[in-house]
Amino acid sequence: MQTPEIYELIDLDRYPLNDLDSEAGQSLIAETHASLEKAGCCSLPGFVRQPVISEMAAQASSLEHLAYSGPGEVTPYFFNYNLGQGVEVPDDHPIKRKGRRNLAQVATDLIPQQHLLSMLYYSTVLPDFLGAVLKQPVYRNQDKYQSLNISMMNAGGCQQWHFDSGRMVTTLLLQEPDAGGIFEYVPELRSDESENFKQVQRVLDGDTRRNQQIELKAGTLSLFRGHYSMHRVTEVKGNRTRIQAILGFSTDPNHKGSLDSSILHYGPRVAELEGR
């Protein structure tokens, strides 16, 4: 899906995604790429224009009754189901250390196609931009539950320290809370060669020396190497719900998540739909 109206959602003066070959477009690509390489994270504040982001948040709020809370306590590796299987480790080892998770998520199949968030996700705007940044083709995920999610945190909501399964995570903050709900991460804590459990344990024990924090504002698009950088969201405070969209992209054109993960995150209805 690609129409000229898609560009009306984006602040093109700051982020010229309609002309990536221009000098400004090439500068944006280079700066974003450099930030990802250096810090493992890049935030683009005001990516979605006002009042568009307010309408996106209102549309997302209308789906809150469909959000599923999922597990309330998990380890940093709850996406990596087989990690440590059959290995004897002490109870305080990172594989066994559980943290509090308090949020609810709306799965892809419950988000209407006519919503502004869906229109942005299913356009070619973001895959084209991300592909230019990563210097290889990027595709929307093909999972019917996990591709596009909306995450909601009310007062007391939080997300424990964890790693993501995807090599790069793309999020869009739709609504910030009154207070709290700060994105905190430790860049490049593990690698393909090493899980670096010793350093992970130090972070879980409260070592903050390498921690980075970003207090995101509504409309911010964030790119993050969440597979390698452990991260969390601090406790939300106040009456305003923290609403964030997770937009699934991959360099694999056929990427899908596991059904076990979908059942865990979106509830028994997924198991029923899939005959499990």
Q: Report the alpha-carbon distance of residue 134 to residue 249 in Å, rounded.
A: 12
Tell me what pLDDT residue 200 has.
95
* Domain architecture of the chain: domains with CATH: 56-111+136-273 (2.60.120.10)
Tell me what pLDDT residue 174 has.
98
Cis before 51? omega within 30: yes
Q: Report the alpha-carbon distance of residue 10 to residue 12 in Å, rounded.
A: 6
Query: To the nearest whole number, what is the mean pLDDT of the chain?
Result: 93
CB–CB of 114/62 below 8 Å? no
Tell me what pLDDT residue 90 has.
87
Helix (H, G, I), strand (E, B) or coil at 220: coil
- The first and second tokens of residue 190, run together, are 């593990």
pLDDT along the chain (276 residues), means of 10: 76 96 98 92 95 96 97 85 69 90 98 96 96 96 97 97 87 97 94 93 95 94 93 96 97 92 94 94
Tell me what pLDDT residue 78 has.
80
Is the full-model pTM beyond 0.75? Answer: yes
CA distances from 213 to 7, 26, 39, 231 (A): 30, 28, 12, 10
Tell me what pLDDT residue 88 has.
81
Q: Report the alpha-carbon distance of residue 63 to residue 111 in Å, rounded.
A: 8
Tell me what pLDDT residue 248 has.
96
CA distances from 133 to 106, 161, 178 (A): 28, 27, 33
Q: How far from chain centre, in Å, is Cα 207?
A: 24
- The first and second tokens of residue 237, run together, are 């405070």
Tell me what pLDDT residue 102 has.
97
Q: Report the alpha-carbon distance of residue 236 to residue 275 in Å, rounded.
A: 36
Tell me what pLDDT residue 170 has.
96
Q: Which of 265, 215, 245 is nearest to 70 (CA)?
A: 265
Report the b/e string of 145-181 with b at 16+ CB within 10 A.
bbbbbbbbbbbebbbbbbbbbbebbbbbbbbbbeebb
CB–CB of 183/213 below 8 Å? yes
Q: Report the alpha-carbon distance of residue 59 to residue 174 in Å, rounded.
A: 10
